[in-house]
Amino acid sequence: MACNAARWRYAGHMAILVTGVAGFIGSACASALLRRGDAVVGLDSYDELLYNRALKEQNLSWVRRHGDVECLEMDVCDAEGLTSLFKRHAISGVVHLAALAGVRSSIQVPHRYYDTNITGTARLLAAATAAGVQRFAIASSSSVYGGNKKVPFAETDVVAEPISPYAASKAGMELVVRSHASMYATNAALLRFFTVYGPRQRPDMAIHKFMRRIAAGEPIEMFGDGSSARDYTFIDDIVAGVLAAFDRVEGCRTYNLGGDHVVTLRELIECIEAVVGRPAQVLRREMQPGDMLVTMAELQRSRAELDYCPQTQLVTGLERMWEWMRDEAQETRYKQAG
Ligand SMILES: NC(=O)c1ccc[n+]([C@@H]2O[C@H](COP(=O)([O-])OP(=O)(O)OC[C@H]3O[C@@H](n4cnc5c(N)ncnc54)[C@H](O)[C@@H]3O)[C@@H](O)[C@H]2O)c1
């Protein structure tokens, strides 16, 4: 077994580098690290392919409510910038969440996904290792399971059938991390997140769009017949899994982080209708290329080695997200963001 029962301890004066700190999951992880007393240095390029900079700055303001954090505006592909970052800051480990996410945009600009997600990760690992940093928690995705016919998806399944450029970029990234870890004996947790939702969720993701449109009385698009299914994971559960993996990983180890319950798209829409208190006008659309029919995480390994235990039921998580969204100011800003 790769994990120690004893939690890894970092030197008190050193900081944890969180990449993608202005994003949905990065801002939540950085806040949690600050809350438990870690020093954090953040890195983000404020990429605007999926959503705009103003929302990312808003995420960062929320992080700063939990403690001081220096956020460096930098591309993870910038090798010189990374080298200088590791020279200027005493970094004990890296929580690497910066990436281009999302299946659909990856079909439009696949090269950008390969650059950021594969080359960017390789550059980050090289700069960190040169500076003596040995500990990483790195975001991968359930998308790597691609055409996998067997559910639930287990970390031991062969993942050789990505069905979108995004999935290929994450699968390629995993191989880069594995080869790096075998050469430099780094401790790296590869974390396969299963559809994450909650406050500050990316506005291009289904739950965010559905809530906003249903509340505004606008139609929503349902791709396929509504029977496609996802293992939805609340942000607090993901954050707990990321921190546990960061603290405990030894060697290079892959972990599924899922929500432990799977619902169909139709059931999800019904839950959102109930939480928002309005019926949805549903426009049926063809299933999109790159979309998986089902995702379902096998959590045995994460439970055994990380004590990972997702706590949040879908309805509770949706209510918490809706509470966040209802804030008038947030709504206005998201409308402006289109
Ligand atoms: N949200 C999910 O459901 C989900 C599911 C599986 C995996 N993931 C992975 O989790 C991580 C975080 O996802 P998220 O939903 O918070 O997305 P996000 O877009 O909100 O956050 C990613 C952040 O990375 C930054 N970024 C993009 N390209 C960069 C670059 N070249 N250099 C530096 N920063 C860059 C973006 O500006 C953004 O702030 C990503 O690796 C994503 O692939 C997310």
Query: Using one digit for the tens of pLDDT, what is the confidence trace for 28-83?
Result: 999 999 999 999 999 999 999 999 999 999 999 999 999 999 999 999 999 999 99
Query: Is the pTM higher than 0.85?
Result: yes
For residue 147, the model assigns a pLDDT of 83
All structural domains of the chain with their residue ranges: 15-332
Q: Any idea which of 16-20, 70-74, 188-192, 328-332 has the lowest mean pLDDT?
A: 328-332
Print the SS3 string covering the chain.
Answer: CCCCCCCCCCCCCCEEEEECCCCHHHHHHHHHHHHCCCEEEEEECCCCCCCCHHHHHHHHHHHHCCCCEEEEECCCCCHHHHHHHHHHCCEEEEEECCCCCCHHHHHHCHHHHHHHHHHHHHHHHHHHHHCCCCEEEEEEEHHHHCCCCCCCECCCCCCCCCCCHHHHHHHHHHHHHHHHHHHHCCEEEEEEECCEECCCCCCCCHHHHHHHHHHCCCCEEEECCCCCEEECEEHHHHHHHHHHHHHHCCCEEEEEECCCCEEEHHHHHHHHHHHHCCCCCEEEECCCCCCCCECCECCHHHHHHHCCCCCCCHHHHHHHHHHHHHCHHHHHHHHHCC
Going from the Cα of 330 to the center of ligand 1, the distance in angstroms, rounded, reads 20
Counting ligand 1 atoms within 8 A of each CB, the residue from 100, 119, 169 with the most, and so the one to mutate, is: 100
Does the Cβ of 193 fall within 6 Å of ligand 1?
A: yes
CATH number of 15-332: 3.40.50.720
